[in-house]
Amino acid sequence: MLGFFKKRQKKKANGLNDKRHPEIDWLNTIDASLSINLEIIKEKTGNSPDVIIRELSMGLNDSVRTAIVYIEGMVDDQSIKDFLIESLMKNQNLQEKVTQQEPLGLLKKKAVPFGDVVTGREWDQLFSSLMAGEALIFIDGTAEVLIIDTRGGEKRAIEEPSSQVVVRGPRDGFTEDIRTNISLVRRRIRNPSLWVEPMKIGQTTKTEVAIMYINDVANEKVVKEVRRRLKQINVDSILESGYVEQLIEDQTFTTFPTLYHTERPDAVAGNLMEGRVAIFVDGTPFVLLAPAVFIQFFQSVEDYYTRFDLATALRFLRILIFFISLIAPAAYVAATTFHQEMIPTQLLITVAAQREAVPFPSFIEALLMEITFEILREAGIRMPRAVGSAISIVGAIVIGQAAVQAGIVSPAMVIIVSITAIASFATPSYSVAISARLIRFLFMVAAATFGFYGIILGIIMLTVHLCSLRSFGVPYMSPLAPFTLVNNSDTIIRAPWWAFWQRPRLISGENTVREGSRQKPRPPMNREMVSRSNEKGDSNE
């Protein structure tokens, strides 16, 4: 057994060190000969048909042989055809000059109508540019290559984010393209201090990852820590920001998310203004925000757009919702198996009448229904849209009147499961909702063994656990624990905008002041704006 593992480990180690093309490894820089270079490219890309090599000749008598290399679909086809090839082939003036002068410099200066043009000579650099969608221009006899930024290709249009819908608020959401995503945020914060640091993570996938922060607002230590943790990542692939999230978390043994993820550029912009750091990952519309605090998951971007009183009421409701989704079935189990004296007589008789025909103890009954519901929910998410209606029909049978009539569960239990389900759907953050989903079962076990005493024990343990969590060094329960009075204007309550004097102290850096003094609107004492047109006699009276 042990030997088996050893072997596998060895193999793995080999795999990592394995250079697939050791024969060209020494050729770190390119050759002067065009044909050799093209051969190397073909060999290294395995002759993949989407690597396009367009050879053409320039100069008088076609004396200068060149080649444009790009990857189909990764580049903006239109600009390659319309500008690059056109200008290289049709420009008479250029054709004459090319033979006389050093062609590369000339092309760079005169012939390539693109914003970002650099030269390169190292294969590593060339290949990573090529794979990113840039076009390479090789010229025979020159051991240097023009790298032209032609990145483009098909991408999804900006659509309304489906995971965080708002009634009032911007409708744009992130797409899979990192550059679109970055630009969506930059459009909202038009300030040179909005800094973006690109990096590539993933040995094989070479995924573009960028960290974004506002230089004089974000906490430098946090930025440094984010950078360090990202640099430490050494995996073969990053296909979604969830990969990154799990690789840079502070605490792995928890069901609670310690990084916030969002699909909304306005949420990112708002959080950047609070001093957070955003982590963009190419290929996913979900952007990570660090550091995250617990209370953040009960807040919705819309809270900041609606009036503060309504937003505060909604936040209270969400806390209630969280507790319902956490302990409603547990409380039912505890009340009906341990604390019958706590239920009002009339209600107890009603519940007892319902339980009379049910063959299971209430814990089993609750467990049965909860598991049924989880199955139903999982089916509802994973199944194709076409069978969705079938699931809802069958679902209504298993958690509904039919289950009651079959004598398997009591109607009260159906209500409890339903309210729990609705509550867990109503939690604004999906990641907190699913962790509550998991913990709910622990609470049910605690309730079935110790009653309300068990539930209270569970809540205490949960609180202790939450207080022990950190997100990039920031206490997860802050600013509630440790308590920071000024920052509590944006926790369970949402103070009006004119009272948001400070950024979260534990998250942002030194620059905590958000707004000037006396921001509360005051109506003028005189009433000049009242229209005087309706003077006496003017009205229809």
Partner 1 sequence: MNKRLFFIFLLGAVLLSGCWSKKELTDLALVAGLGIEKNEEGKYVGTIQVVNPGNVAEGQQGGGSGQGPPVSVYSATGDNIIEASRELSTKVSRRLYYAHTNLVVIDEQLAREEGITKILDAMDRDPEFRVTTTVIIAHGVKAGDIMKALTPIDKIPSSKIIKTLKFTEESWGEHLNVNIKEVINALTSSGKEPLITGFHLIGDHDEAKKMESIQQTAPAATIQTNGLAVFKEGKLIGWIHGEAAKGSVWILDRIKRTNVTINWKEEKGAISYQVMRQKTNISARMQDGQPIITVEVRAEGDIGEVIVPIDLTDPHVFLEIEKGAEEEIKKEIEQAVQEAKEYKSDVFGFGEAVRRLDPDAWETLKAEWDDRHFPELQVEVKVDAFVRRSGLRNKSFLSQTEENR
List interacting residues with partner 1 (CB under 8 A).
336-338, 340-341, 345-346, 348-358, 361-362, 404-405, 407, 445-446, 448-451
Residue 513 phi/psi, 5° resolution?
-75, 130
Q: Which is nearer to partner 1, 320 or 415 (CB)?
A: 415
Q: State the nearest-atom distance from the C-beta of 361 to partner 1, in Å.
A: 5
Cα Rg of the chain, angstroms? 31
Q: Which is nearer to partner 1, 91 or 354 (CB)?
A: 354
Q: Which is nearer to partner 1, 89 or 461 (CB)?
A: 461
- In angstroms, how far is the first alpha carbon of the chain from the final one? 100
Nearest to 280 by CA among 346, 171, 183: 183
Angle between helices 411-426 and 430-450 (to 10 degrees): 150
Q: State the nearest-atom distance from the C-beta of 254 to partner 1, in Å.
A: 15
Q: State the nearest-atom distance from the C-beta of 331 to partner 1, in Å.
A: 15
Q: State the nearest-atom distance from the C-beta of 354 to partner 1, in Å.
A: 6
Q: Whole-angstrom Cα distance, residue 513 to residue 428?
A: 28
Q: Which is nearer to partner 1, 215 or 337 (CB)?
A: 337
Query: What's the DSSP call for residue 259?
Result: S
Q: Which is nearer to partner 1, 100 or 401 (CB)?
A: 401
Tokens of 416: 């409890």
Q: Which is nearer to partner 1, 199 or 402 (CB)?
A: 402
Q: Which is nearer to partner 1, 327 or 447 (CB)?
A: 447
Nearest to 94 by CA among 126, 123, 128, 56: 56
Q: State the nearest-atom distance from the C-beta of 505 to partner 1, in Å.
A: 33
**48-51-53 Cα angle (round to 5):** 125
Q: State the nearest-atom distance from the C-beta of 166 to partner 1, in Å.
A: 42
Amino acid at 130: L
Q: State the nearest-atom distance from the C-beta of 336 to partner 1, in Å.
A: 5
Handedness of CA 369, 370, 373, 375 (dihedral sign): negative
Nearest to 72 by CA among 124, 150, 147: 150
Q: Which is nearer to partner 1, 128 or 350 (CB)?
A: 350
Residue 374 phi/psi, 5° resolution?
-60, -40
Residue with structure tokens 């959401």? 173
| Partners of 55 in the β-ladder | 67
Q: State the nearest-atom distance from the C-beta of 263 to partner 1, in Å.
A: 38
Q: Whole-angstrom Cα distance, residue 241 to residue 209?
A: 9
